[in-house]
Structure 1
Amino acid sequence: MDAERLVDAYGDVTVRDLAWLLFAPDLLRASHAGAPLAHPFETPSERDATLDWLAVLDRDPATLHERARNPKLTRLGFYAESLLEYFLTHGPAASLVAANVPLRRQRVTIGEFDFLLQTARGARLHWELAVKFYLHIGDGSAATARLSDYVGPNLQDRFDLKHERLLTHQLALTSRAEFASLGFEGPWEPQLYIKGRLFYHGESVTPAPELGDAHLRGWWRTVSEWGAMHAESDDAWVVQPRLAWLASRRLAASDGDALLAHAATIRERLSGTVSPTMVAAYGRNEKGEFVERSRGFIVPDDWPERAREFALTTI
């Protein structure tokens, strides 16, 4: 069963996000990741136990909401960390040893590791979590894309730079001399826990070799392109808030009908997009619910040129 079908088994939106974080495919290919990739489960029985645990949590998610729906968690990375911390604290697999502990040298913070955990078999792991959403800016003329072709929507982040930072700085924290003073008995095996979705302008792009074959995909279009493609669309369009970027969403029939009733106004508003905006298209299923059909970014018409410059910038 693929990740999307697993996520669809749960009704609560926060439980869906947690299930997505646990079961979504890795962005990176294990053979090209530069470090071992993290796996939430050591055995098939732990995976099955987690599915059962999520089903129970879905019926009564109050404790998860209390942890993850903190008004102070306004950044997507913090929200994802809170979900994974909840799983490691309360779930049926590995157990949490420490989370988000700063590492200091002479009172100056030099880094903060994400998670230390111990598996049922006794393995002691250091996980660094990254949940990333990049747009591929290459034009498809190159034989193969490069990681530097994948840029953040606001052009403040780039996949190659993030990957290098994870490998050379974040994963190295538990091997530094300063770490020994914290008293966490090791050794600790560093692993990458990297999830997300990559957005493409066309279908002809051969992804960068570092990327996993099953990585989640979306699309991006300029305002002009999107307007021309979707002028006659019968989908219900929704702007996805940043904290709704993980799992797919469902809409009640009444909400979807309301969106369709105001479709022209929504399309007009989106046609005036001045910064990259994630949107999702919803269509009605056999139960009358509106389910997500696709997800993508609408970007200003001048964004591609600026993004290509950013992809080539030496930082």
Structure 2
Amino acid sequence: MAAQASELARLVDRFGDVTVRDLAWLLFAPDLLREGDAALARPFATSAERDATLAWLASLDAAPQALHDHARNPKFTRLGIYAESLLRYFLAHGPAARLVAANVPLRRQRRTIGECDFLLEAASGERLHWELAVKFYLHIGDGEASRAARLSDYVGPNLQDRFDLKHARLLTHQLALTSRAEFAGLGFAGPWHAQLYIKGRLFYHGLHGDGVAPAREIGDDHLRGWWLTASEWREARAEDANDDRAWVVQPRMAWLASRRLDTTAAESLVAESVAIRARLEATVAPTMIAAYARDESGGWVEESRGFIVPDDWPEQARAFAASTP
């Protein structure tokens, strides 16, 4: 798992532009799920397509304005819409599969019953239907290290989403859209092979997130983070009084790829560390943060990513995990 994260960082860190880095993360991050109940989408059919994509991203990094015009829309206030715009740009302009259509609505008696995220054609001629999901869940569990996690143990930070419910919706509704009669009447010649394009990060209790066997559906190489309550965060900081890392609150639209910190920004954050920690100790809502440490070259790189949650959040989260839809 650490090797996978290191490889992802190596691929993403070669790009300087923030939006290009987010696109690279979306293309190269490991899947949250393992192949099983649903076929998983692969952005590159061959190693040649992968290499061509890296070269394409490098040229985009040198002149990213077209990508900015497409993806940096002030109306994109939801992370999922932003990620969707990035993947659409890749399929429309990148060197791999060809975009046929995006956001195709299905209607019955003038009522929308679903929307296909992406229809595309691979270089082989295969026609693919991709459903995109970018999810960030915290594992709540019951503290039993001997019990493998269930998908219902993974909950959204604001307790409005749960992995088992999202998983069921994707499999039974979203991926089935191109097999419905309403889709057949739209004129997109098939057959279409439905695949799930699912990325994100799962967060485990404790600074290291050790001792939890993930749910059987979870991919072995999924990206991990940590979470602590505000009280646990305060105790951890008290024990590490000489901490010289820079702590950054991650706004939702910065949840994909890691950012880079220049020396001035990092030193400012270190100087403000007492104030930043005090704000986090008093948090009233789950807050994603990232820790940046100085590397051998003197730059600042992301070391870890996690959530600080209010002290009463775990009890609420366990109730939400155990609730019946």
Q: Same fold (TM over 0.5)?
A: yes
Counterparts of 1:124 and 1:15 in 2: how far apart (Å)? 27
- Paired position in structure 1 for 2:306: 296
- TM-score under structure 1 length normalisation: 0.98
Aligned-pair identity in percent equals 73
Counterparts of 1:217 and 1:47 in 2: how far apart (Å)? 24
SS in 2 for 1:193: strand
SS in 2 for 1:281: strand
The Cα RMSD (Å) is: 1.0
- Paired position in structure 2 for 1:313: 323
Residue identity in the other structure for 1:134: Y
- Paired position in structure 1 for 2:28: 23
- Paired position in structure 1 for 2:217: 210
Deviation string, structure 1 residues 258-291 (Cα, Å, up to 9, x no partner)? 1111111111111110000000011122333221
Q: Please, which of 84, 99, 114 is the counterpart of residue 111 of structure 1?
A: 114
Counterparts of 1:274 and 1:143 in 2: how far apart (Å)? 31
Counterparts of 1:67 and 1:227 in 2: how far apart (Å)? 41
SS in 1 for 2:289: strand
- Paired position in structure 2 for 1:178: 182
Q: How does 1:1-315 map to 2 (within 5 A)?
A: 2-30=7-35, 32=36, 34-141=37-144, 142-201=146-205, 202-231=209-238, 232=241, 233-315=243-325
SS in 2 for 1:197: strand
Counterparts of 1:166 and 1:4 in 2: how far apart (Å)? 28
How far apart are 1:249 and its partner, in Å?
1.1
CA contact (8 A) 1:137 1:307 kept: yes
Deviation string, structure 1 residues 177-232 (Cα, Å, up to 9, x no partner)? 11112111111000000000000003110111111110000000000001111232
Residue identity in the other structure for 1:3: L
SS in 2 for 1:251: coil
How far apart are 1:140 and its partner, in Å?
3.5
Structure 2 alignment gaps of length 5 or more: 1-5
Counterparts of 2:152 and 2:321 in 1: how far apart (Å)? 6
- TM-score under structure 2 length normalisation: 0.95
SS in 2 for 1:250: coil
Residue identity in the other structure for 1:268: A
Of 70-79 and 284-293, the range deviating more from structure 2 = 284-293
CA contact (8 A) 1:252 1:289 kept: yes
CA contact (8 A) 1:140 1:204 kept: no
SS in 2 for 1:182: coil
SS in 1 for 2:117: strand
Residue identity in the other structure for 2:147: A
Residue identity in the other structure for 1:285: D
Counterparts of 1:3 and 1:260 in 2: how far apart (Å)? 26
Structure 1 alignment gaps of length 5 or more: none
Length, aligned pairs only: 313
How far apart are 1:235 and its partner, in Å?
1.1
Deviation string, structure 1 residues 102-126 (Cα, Å, up to 9, x no partner)? 1111110001110000011100000
How far apart are 1:234 and its partner, in Å?
1.6
Residue identity in the other structure for 1:86: Y
Counterparts of 1:140 and 1:55 in 2: how far apart (Å)? 45
Of 231-240 and 100-109, the range deviating more from structure 2 = 231-240
